[in-house]
Structure 1
Amino acid sequence: MIVCIAEKPSVARDIASILGANHRQVDHGVGYMEGNGYAVTWTFGHLCTLKEPHDYTPSWKSWSLSSLPMIPERFGIKPIPIEHYQRQLEVIERLVSQATEVINCGDAGQEGELIQRWVLQKAGCRVPVRRLWISSLTDEAIREGFEHLRDEADYQSLYEAGLARAIGDWLLGMNATRLYTLRYGGSDRKQPLSIGRVQTPTLALIVERQETIEHFQSETYWELKTRYREVLFSADKGKYTDKAKAEAALSSIIGKPFSITSVKKKDGKESAPKLFDLTSLQVACNKKFNMSAEETLATIQSLYEKKLTTYPRVDTTYLSEDLYPKVAGILRGLVTPYPTLVAPLLSGAPIRKDKKVFDNKKVTDHHAIIPTGQRTGGLSEREQQVYDLVARHFIAVFYPDCKVSTTTVEGAVERVKFKTSGKEILKPGWRVVFEGNAPEPTNESNSTGKTSDTEEPQEALLPNFVVGEQGEHLPELKERQTQPPKYYTEATLLRAMETAGKLVEDEELREAMKENGIGRPSTRANIIETLFKRGYIVKVKKNQIHATDTGRQLIGLINYELLKSAALTGQWEYKLRQIERRELETKSFIDELKAMLYQLTQSVLAPQPSPPKPEEVRSTEIPCPRCGRGVLLRGRTAFGCSAYHEGCDYRIPFDLCPETSSIEALQRYIERSQQEPVEEPSLLF
């Protein structure tokens, strides 16, 4: 008997139908289906989990600083103590004991691999195991997958990466949570200070942004503009920070003619928006429909299980080249309202094959999220909204580029120069997919131009200007204030997690940075929801995310940079990907993490200097070189940052820079220490 194990009952039913295993042996959702030499069963996601601290050592059940760090000699797993989970695990154990072969039909990803391997380990599997690896749940995809089953060993590194992630999260979460709760939260553990490898740097991003906004000092500047032929021109000078100079420039042009000095037109192309990976889909749904990241993930997962879209937990926006022959069939299967948009693509000319869409080098286990071409029906409003986004993006990438003409006009009044620009859409190309009115496409190469965002506001269409023309104009000087950055929304927070906190607008650069992002696409939604549930963040007006006092206090307590650094956490993620690619040993990753835990424990438990008394503190007025928020104070034993109560622990002991040092000597010491190489702690993963 061949035993097939899927991750969910619904997937098991689809597989059983294809294999002819139609005899149900099911009792209240627990059981299997058999027939034709197969038994098809399922998990409910994770049936097993890593053991808890007290499962290794009874004394670890009590929270105690003396027991930290807790590092088991060897990690083990145990069944999750939920009654129907345990009953299903018993069914799997019995089937596996009778099997001649097992086929792992879990979700085709890192977490899916980990779920299945732990179940098979608990079931004591001793027979050969093969892997079903598919990107959609259509009948065709399942049949094709069973025709090309892979050996379990092909996915060993994927399992090891998932295992390393789970062990890493256990080690850091269990130890750091107890460490900070006991060190700073006292004996009351009703609300422990929860620390996590991904959760904490994500919270730190939110807190840092919020504090930047709250401490932002607005500055006044002036903009000089003039209106000529109903078109607004801006002074080349840009912002004036000196009001007298701005007023002088305004006075110099009042009553004098405006002259057109240059008119330049440049034709260009805009590529269609990229296909979706999970993060970009979550960003789009948050912006368009105010859907949370978790809601978007649940919705696209539902569409996947209904066989309407491909595997959703992906981090690529590309398709593999072997999918190209299937494109026409997928397009043909799209029903109302898409046939009018699809018809021009199937009119006879070959469907365009673009390197910006098809690139094997940009695809690993899975490709971008696309429709399967199966007929839709009975979708909820949310499912229809998400499906429509996926379908239209898929159709649009096969349309021609949008052809545009950009006009830049320069003018002058006396010595003050002005400029404006406008854009004209010559041929809408792919834009009609999002607007209707499909044109006849051509098979042009999508070779130039930047990817465009369909939500981007369009520049004004300009009238015809002629070099040398002159006329009256209406100048104006407007006083403006510099603005702080905006609070995170779920959309912008997801982007920040994807790029480890760096502000990146360019899509190509974002693609390159994904391996160093915080968390994985499949886990980011859960991380954000966890922060909400633990009361560290809240959502306020206009979908803004604010850190609560509890969240801010937690980040303020953490004086160990590695725990809250988005950039360094992103590098940890990169190491996990190296394990997947067999470029890094799992043991090295875990050993470095263990070393970090010893270092962290020593750092937190080290005696902390008492804050200096007010009468002992004298300000040097030198900005803190680390945080920039506070100034350096001359205390009893060291120079320290005035923002120490906000989490900045910058200090210069008097044995390095004497208390009697002048302000100039102190500044020279700071400059010299910043230039000298500083030994950073290893990334320890």
Structure 2
Amino acid sequence: MEDAAIREGFANLRPDSDYDALYQSALCRAKADWLVGINATRLFSVLYYKTLTVGRVQTPTLKMLVDRDAKILRFQKEKYYTVGIHSGSLKADSGRIADAETANSLKEKCTGAVAVCTSVKREKKTEQPPKLYDLTTLQREANRLFGFTAKQTLDYAQHLYEKKLLTYPRTDSQYLTEDMGQTVQHLVSDLLRLLPFAQGLALTPDVGRILNSKKVSDHHAIIPTAEFVKQGFAGLAESECKLMNLVCSKLLCAVAAPHEYETVTAVFSCFGNEFTAKGKTVLVPGWKEIDQRFRSTLKADTEEEVLNALPELAEGQNFSVTTDILEHFTSPPKAYTEDTLLSAMERAGAEDMPEEAERKGLGTPATRAAILEKLVQMGFVQRKGKQLVPTKDGINLAVVLPESLTSPVLTAEWENRLTEIAKGNADPDEFMAEIEAQVRQLVKTYSCISADKQNLFQSERVIIGKCPRCSENVYEGKKNFYCGNRSCQFVMWKNDRFFEQRKKAFTPKIAAALLKNGKAKVKGLYSEKTGKTYDAMVLLADTGGKYVNYRVERKE
């Protein structure tokens, strides 16, 4: 925070009593979250013999991932066709055709025939500039453009805030207060000189569009500070430079002119069938010129808009056409990325919440990143590139939990009540009594499960080989390779001194070779005498005692 902002805050202090109701609302939320989380987590962990974390926000988020994964698995690809007619640069397409025979028949009819333009519809449209960043939209775009996780974006933004280069990042507002107009005007002028991609850009900023004090609660939108203008990008890490450029470009786009364009939709008739051509022409580039300039500086692949300008057309115009057939396939739903999941979390259950609710959706801009990280850390979700995919445990957890815990409706109900408490219109004690009753009912309802479900979350044991003592299977554990026969004491420890002295990891591959052949060829063993590494055959020297021994057989 800049010094001027701190001084302004102290000059406009309000009495603590103004916030008593808001405090009670926040305290109720914290207590209720803790009560539901601690009891549900312990309950289902004990039932299924595995640590299963449950939370009001975390669990519905997991359910969204599981539901999307199920839709992808159920999806069945379907083939369809379109027939295209061509005349010079003009191309128009039929609608979807389900079978190849019908498509081929239409193609044959129209080849060399005359198509008549039956209608031309022109429409001028305006695309307003984007809003400024709040934390969620910043995290989404940084994930889309740079592959940053939500946590990485928050961490980078926090570092920049602590360096006084960026305003407070944990905000859910996309506007600035009305008293910031002059400050932003100067800031935009300075950025036009500072940013390489903005050099020579003619911009008359409309600052009023981004000023709205009513839509700023605790903190305004994320923008660069005056300190950043003084310092520039000097001394910043590459990731921090990327984020600063992103925030700066968004500010310039937000105060630029709207993007204006004209769309043209032309319909042609050929042998009683309709074909449609669509075109788009830019009239005023507006804010998109700035956006395109910024994106052209990125190393990452970005989607560029393809413009298709149609030739001058008039109704009744005739064209001799050639034809072709294109084969298409329906696309499955896409797996969530952090970008799309953050957006879904922001909207989840929002339609059931009051307009004045302090929080909408699942979580807050400040907590969503931690929720995603916890789902990954607990083994319920895994990252595959940019995609977030539920694991087997994550799918099972979402299936066994009651809908009251997996649906965002619980959050919507809470926020309705908490909003009333914050206004002083509802009793905090009454709310907490209801939460306690709900938790007791949850524990009572799910106090036991059938025996066949108790092993639902148990990991499948990986067989490494056969025990040299009793011939039973040897499995891999977290710290060892152990015999499945409980009366047999055969075990090979992963941290065995033999391998640690030689600075070599005792891998499943080495263990499997030792069990199968009694020896394993190991590369890169370290010698304390020479300080160098060497390759050798490691022999299993099992004497039947408590510990297994090994020795090295080196070729002379």
TM-score by length of 1: 0.59
Q: Tell me which residue corresponds to 1:364.
A: 217
Output the CA distance in 2 between the equivalents of 1:482 and 1:345.
43
Q: Percent identity?
A: 36
| Aligned partners of 1:332 and 1:373 also within 8 Å | no
DSSP 3-state at the match of 2:446: helix
| Aligned partners of 1:498 and 1:518 also within 8 Å | yes
Paired residues for 1:427-442 under 5 Å = 427-436=284-293
Q: Does 1:553 align with 2:390?
A: no
Q: Tell me which residue corresponds to 2:170.
A: 313
| Aligned partners of 1:516 and 1:571 also within 8 Å | no
Output the CA distance in 1 between the equivalents of 2:215 and 2:264.
35
Match of 2:335 among 473, 480, 487: 487
| Aligned partners of 1:499 and 1:514 also within 8 Å | no
Output the CA distance in 2 between the equivalents of 1:470 and 1:512.
58
Cα 1:484–1:142, aligned 2, differ >3 Å: closer, same or farther?
A: same
Q: Does 1:415 align with 2:277?
A: no
Q: Which amino acid aligns with 1:364?
A: S
Q: Does 1:468 align with 2:316?
A: yes
| Aligned partners of 2:44 and 2:52 also within 8 Å | yes
TM-superposed CA distance for 1:303, in Å, is 1.6
Q: Tell me which residue corresponds to 2:247.
A: 390
TM-superposed CA distance for 1:277, in Å, is 0.9
Which of the pair has the greater relative contact order for Cα pairs under 8 Å at 6+ separation? 2
DSSP 3-state at the match of 1:240: coil
DSSP 3-state at the match of 2:331: coil
Q: Tell me which residue corresponds to 2:152.
A: 295
| Aligned partners of 2:350 and 2:361 also within 8 Å | no
TM-superposed CA distance for 1:307, in Å, is 1.6
Paired residues for 1:119-138 under 5 Å = 137-138=1-2
Q: Tell me which residue corresponds to 1:603.
A: 445
Output the CA distance in 1 between the equivalents of 2:318 and 2:363.
58
DSSP 3-state at the match of 2:328: strand
Output the CA distance in 1 between the equivalents of 2:427 and 2:244.
40
Q: Does 1:207 align with 2:71?
A: no
| Aligned partners of 2:41 and 2:53 also within 8 Å | yes
Q: Does 1:197 align with 2:56?
A: yes
With 566-575 and 398-407 compared, the bigger mean Cα shift is at 566-575
Q: Tell me which residue corresponds to 1:322.
A: 179
Output the CA distance in 1 between the equivalents of 2:136 and 2:374.
17
Deviation sequence 1:613-643 (CA, Å, 0-9, x none): xxxxxxxxxxxxxxxxxxxxxxxxxxxxxxx
Paired residues for 1:1-20 under 5 Å = none
Q: Does 1:167 align with 2:31?
A: yes
DSSP 3-state at the match of 1:262: strand
TM-superposed CA distance for 1:241, in Å, is 3.3
Output the CA distance in 2 between the equivalents of 1:159 and 1:513.
15
DSSP 3-state at the match of 2:396: helix
Q: Tell me which residue corresponds to 1:276.
A: 133
Q: Tell me which residue corresponds to 1:267.
A: 124
Q: Does 1:176 align with 2:40?
A: yes
TM-score by length of 2: 0.72
Cα 1:262–1:514, aligned 2, differ >3 Å: closer, same or farther?
A: farther
Q: Which amino acid aligns with 1:561?
A: E
Q: Tell me which residue corresponds to 1:123.
A: none
Output the CA distance in 1 between the equivalents of 2:196 and 2:226.
11
Q: Tell me which residue corresponds to 1:665.
A: none
Number of positions where the alignment pairs a residue of Structure 1 with one of Structure 2: 439
Q: Tell me which residue corresponds to 2:506.
A: none
DSSP 3-state at the match of 2:113: coil
Output the CA distance in 2 between the equivalents of 1:459 and 1:583.
55
Q: Which amino acid aligns with 1:165?
A: R
Match of 2:428 among 557, 563, 586: 586
| Aligned partners of 1:279 and 1:494 also within 8 Å | yes
Q: Tell me which residue corresponds to 1:105.
A: none
Cα 1:194–1:337, aligned 2, differ >3 Å: closer, same or farther?
A: same
Cα 1:228–1:551, aligned 2, differ >3 Å: closer, same or farther?
A: same
TM-superposed CA distance for 1:478, in Å, is 3.3
TM-superposed CA distance for 1:581, in Å, is 4.4
| Aligned partners of 2:381 and 2:389 also within 8 Å | yes
DSSP 3-state at the match of 1:222: strand
Cα 1:477–1:287, aligned 2, differ >3 Å: closer, same or farther?
A: same
Q: Tell me which residue corresponds to 2:97.
A: 240
